[in-house]
Amino acid sequence: MAHHKIGWKTAAALVISNMIGTGVFTSLGYQISDLKNTTSILSLWVIGGFLALIGAFIYSELASKFKQSGGDYIYLSRTYHPVFGYLSSWISLFVGFSAPISLAALAMSKYLNSFGLNLGKEFAIAMILIVAIFQSFSLNLSSKFQNIFTILKVIFILLLIGIGFYYAPTVSPNAVSFDSSFTEELMLPAFATSLVYVTFAYTGWNSASYIIEEINQPKKNLPKALFIGVIFVTVTYVFLNFVFLKHATAASLVGKEDVANISFANILGLQHVKWVSCFIALQLIATISGYLWIGSRLSQATAKENKLWSFMAKENKHKIPVRAIWVHTTISISLIFSGDFEVIFTYTSFVLQILATLAISTAFFIKKDELTIIKSKFFYVLPTIFLAFSLYICYFVLMQKPKESLFGLGIIALGIIIFFFDKHQKPND
């Protein structure tokens, strides 16, 4: 029986919906506390997009070299040592895929509360469960569900940008300020810590590489999906943040999570901004769905090679890793009870940055004659740039947010202990 495979459009839809989630609607409030200049704020988003694009190039090469679903797990296990691959799956299970699902579900209830509803954690849990049920049947149903909600997401975001550009600034003075102070701001530690929120908003640029075995003609379709996804998202992010700044005062945005609401209430009035909230909440369904889809495939790839995880390898007759989907669902739900939004946000971003640094470094092990897109030594400049930025971000987050960073490092340490425990579970090895 031939199993349904997805084309580049569904793969690009996955990339877009995994990237556009809570990050772009929440990070500006944290950035504007320290960075007042519009050039420095927008350059954060440009740098984030540039790094994601470099990452997409590198992952296309890694995916065509290894030809196996599982992304970081495969690249790190095969290049360095199984402990690194194991760690990447451990991090992804708890932080990489489950935390963004919890954050998206929590943000959903927050945005819907502008209707005067008092939705809390119960609603967030119900949403995760509904998406998990849709994911559990067949690839065909999963991709239809994913595509419909991604199209909704894209139309809505383009509408937001259109409305924001069409209307003249509604507050005075607004938060847009293009003076020369941005050169000093680029040197601030806060610029580096703001970059970690931005890289979180771009997490997901690598998502299609995790399911290479489910993609039709992956050599051609994977790079196409990654590049189209990343470029679309970068342009969108820069425009969206400009629109948020244009229609709000700096003071009203500082430290706030619902920046879209604050900004659009000034254009549409409090009565109509509720619909913006409603659509932000709706577009987060595609985010939850995308992370659940990709995360379960990564855990399944690990389950095939590790004893403690092996129960997650089982598939239904449509080749859907149902158990892995429900393990991710359970973890996401339990994370909802584990702390406040910004704390989860910071340690998640930090740990994912470390993971991305490790995964990208495997690119130096691709031989020149294995390259398929940039077939020259110039290719190795890309991971070098990525790693330089990545280490710079990690260093400053560790200095500025030691508590959250140490919590993140604790999750990594626990993963190492479990790996060695797991290895002793294999008498037949």
The predicted pLDDT at position 1 comes to: 36
Give the Å distances, CA to CA, from 8 to 68, 205, 229, 320. 17, 14, 10, 20
Q: Residue 128 — pLDDT band, cuts 50, 70, 90?
A: very high
> What radius of gyration do the chain's Cα atoms show?
21
Stated as kind and residue range, the H or E segment containing 329 is helix 322-335
Distance separating alpha carbons of residues 19 and 201, to the nearest angstrom? 6
Q: Model pTM?
A: 0.82
Domains of the chain by range and CATH? 8-423 (1.20.1740.10)
pLDDT mean over 389-414: 88
- Alpha-carbon span 201 to 214, nearest angstrom: 25
pLDDT-derived band at 426 (thresholds 50, 70, 90) equals low
pLDDT digits (tens, 9 = 90+) for 290-316: 889 888 888 888 888 888 888 888 888
Residues 215-273 pLDDT 10s: 888 778 888 888 899 999 999 999 999 999 999 988 888 888 778 888 998 988 888 88
Number of other residues whose CB lies within 10 A of the CB of residue 429? 7
Q: For position 3, what pLDDT does the model report?
A: 55
Q: pLDDT of 109-123, one tens digit each?
A: 888 887 778 888 899
Tokens of 167: 């209307």
Nearest to 286 by CA among 103, 19, 69: 19
At 205, the pLDDT band (50, 70, 90 cuts) reads: confident
Q: What is the pLDDT of residues 143-165, one digit of tens each?
A: 788 788 888 888 999 999 999 99
| Percent of all residues in the chain with a pLDDT value above 90, rounded to a whole number | 22
Average pLDDT over the chain reads: 85
Residue 408 predicted with pLDDT over 60: yes
